[in-house]
Structure 1
C-alpha cells in the first residue's frame, strides 16, 4: 500500500520531490501547500492538489517541508495545530544547516521528525528531476525508528544516504557551502580577470569551467594535495610575480588570499627556499598576510 505525503513549499526542491517520490511506486502526493496557484513545471499534475494553508492539509503519512530555513520554526508551529498528527506521522525538513530542533513544536505533538538534506544543487527543476537519483543525502534523526523512516524515504528518491549528528550539522553545511558557493565565486573572479582580453562570454566561460571541471574530476579520485597543479605547487615564484603585476589592487588582494591558501596546501611539496620566495611575492610573513 502506498504511503501519502504532503509538501509545504513548491520551490525547486519541493517540485523535485513532488515529482520524484511517486515514481518509486511507494509514495503518492496527497497535497501541496503553495502560495502560487501555478507551481512551475508541475502545474498540470498538481492542479487539484494545491491547498493555500497548512490548516487545510488532510491526514498523511509524511509532511515534507521545503521552505526557506528562516521560516521553518514558524511552519513547525503551524503544523503543531493539525489535530491528526501522531507518532506515525513523519515530518522532515530539507535544510542542510538547521537541525531537527527547529521542529520541536511538532515533537511536542508526538510526531516523528527528521532532516533529509540532498547534496545536490537544485538550479533547474526539470534538470533536478532527471538527475537527482544517485546523489548523496545527509540524514539526521533523534532515534533509530525515525532514522529508519528517513532511510526509506531516501531510498524511494534513489538517494545514497549517510547519517549525521545534530552537533555537526553546521560544520557539515559550511563545508558544502564552501565547495559549492565559493567555487562559483572563484569562477566569476577568473572570468573577470579575462575581461580586458575582450574574449566572448562563451569563450571566457569555457576557459574557466573547462579547467575547473578537470580539477573536480581529479578531486573525485585524488586527495587535494595530489590533485593540485599550477605555479604555486611548482614553486614558480616568477610566474606568480607576473600574475600580480598585471592586476589592479582589488584583483591583487583577492588573488593573494586564494594564493596564500593554496600555498598552505602546497607546503609539503615545496622546499624552504621556494616557500620563502612565494611568501615574499604574496606579502606573507609568519603565516599572515601583510
Structure 2
C-alpha cells in the first residue's frame, strides 16, 4: 500500500520531491501548502490538492517541510497544531544547516522527526527532477525509527544516503556551501575579468565552466594539493605579477584573497624562494593579502 506525503513549501526542492517520490510507486503526493494554485512545472498535477494553510492539510503518513531555513521553526510550530499527528507520522525538513531541534514542537505531539538534506544544487526544477537520483543525501534523526523512515524516503527518491549527527550539521553545511556557493562566486569573478575582451557570453561561460569542470573532475580522483594546477603552484611569480598588472584595484583585491588561499594550499609543493617571491608579488604580510 502506498504511503502519502504532504509538502509544505513548493519552491524548487518541494516541487522536485513532489514529482520524484511518486515515481517510486511507494509514495503518493497527497497535498501541498503553497501560495500558488499551480506551482511551476507541476501545473499538470491538477489532481493534487494545493492548500494555502498548513491547518488545511488532511491526514498523511509524512509531512515534508521545504520552506527556507529562517521560517522552519515557525513552520514546525504550525505543523504541530495538526490534530492528526501520531507516532507513525514522519515530519522532516530538507535543511542542511538546521538540525532536527527546529522540530521540537512536533516532537511534543508524539510524531517522528528527521531531516533529509540532498547534496544537490536545485538551480532548475525540471533539471533537478531529471538528475536528482544517484546523488548523496545526509540523514539526521532522533532515533532508529526516524532513521529507518528517512532511509525509505531517500531510497524512494533514488538518493544514496549517509547518516549525520546534529552536532556535525553546521560544519558539514559550511563545507558544502563553500564548495557550491563559493565556486559560483569565483566563476562570476573569472567571467568579469574576461568582460573587457568582449567575447560572446557563450564563449565566456564555456571558457570558465569548462576549466572549472576539469578541475572538479580532477578533485574526484585526487586530493586538492595534487589536483592544483596553475602559476602559483608552479612558483611563477612573474605570471601572477602580470595578472595583477592588468586589473583594477577592486579586481586586484579579490584576486589577492584567492591567490593567498591558493598559496597556502600550494606551500608543500614550493621551495622557500618561490614562496617568498609570490608573497612579495601578492603584498602578503603574516599570510594575509592587502
| TM-score of the alignment, normalized to the shorter chain, above 0.5 | yes
Q: Distance in 1 between matches of 2:51 and 2:198?
A: 51
Equivalent residues in 2 for 1:133-144, closer than 5 Å: 133-144=133-144
Q: Distance in 2 between matches of 1:162 and 1:175?
A: 16
**1:27 maps to which residue?**
27
Q: Distance in 1 between matches of 2:101 and 2:230?
A: 45
SS of structure 1 residue aligned to 2:4? strand
State the 1:47 CA deviation: 4.5
Please list the CA deviations of residues 85-131 of structure 1 after superposition, one character each: whole Å capped at 9, or x if unmatched: 01110000001111100010000000000000001111111111110
Q: Is the 8 A contact 2:41 2:126 kept in 1?
A: yes
State the 1:285 CA deviation: 2.4
**1:215 maps to which residue?**
215
Q: Distance in 1 between matches of 2:89 and 2:213?
A: 42
**2:81 maps to which residue?**
81
Structure 2: gaps of 5 or more residues:
none
Q: Is the 8 A contact 2:10 2:39 kept in 1?
A: yes
Matched, 1:104 2:104: yes
Q: Distance in 1 between matches of 2:48 and 2:282?
A: 62
Please list the CA deviations of residues 190-241 of structure 1 after superposition, one character each: whole Å capped at 9, or x if unmatched: 1111111111111111111110010011111111101000000000111011
**1:270 maps to which residue?**
270
Q: Distance in 1 between matches of 2:186 and 2:44?
A: 39
**2:256 maps to which residue?**
256
Q: Distance in 2 between matches of 1:47 and 1:27?
A: 15
Q: Distance in 2 between matches of 1:117 and 1:130?
A: 18
The two structures have a TM-score, normalised by structure 2, of: 0.98
SS of structure 1 residue aligned to 2:122? coil
State the 1:40 CA deviation: 1.1
Over the residues paired in the alignment, what is the CA RMSD in angstroms? 0.9
Question: Does the C-alpha gap of structure 1 residues 46 and 171 become closer, same or farther in structure 2, counting only changes over 3 Å?
Answer: farther
**1:93 maps to which residue?**
93
Q: Is the 8 A contact 2:139 2:164 kept in 1?
A: yes
Q: Is the 8 A contact 2:30 2:48 kept in 1?
A: no
Q: Distance in 2 between matches of 1:192 and 1:48?
A: 45
The two structures have a TM-score, normalised by structure 1, of: 0.98
Q: Is the 8 A contact 2:8 2:65 kept in 1?
A: yes
State the 1:46 CA deviation: 3.7
State the 1:284 CA deviation: 1.1
Q: Is the 8 A contact 2:137 2:159 kept in 1?
A: yes
Question: Does the C-alpha gap of structure 1 residues 33 and 98 become closer, same or farther in structure 2, counting only changes over 3 Å?
Answer: same
**2:53 maps to which residue?**
53
Structure 1: gaps of 5 or more residues:
none
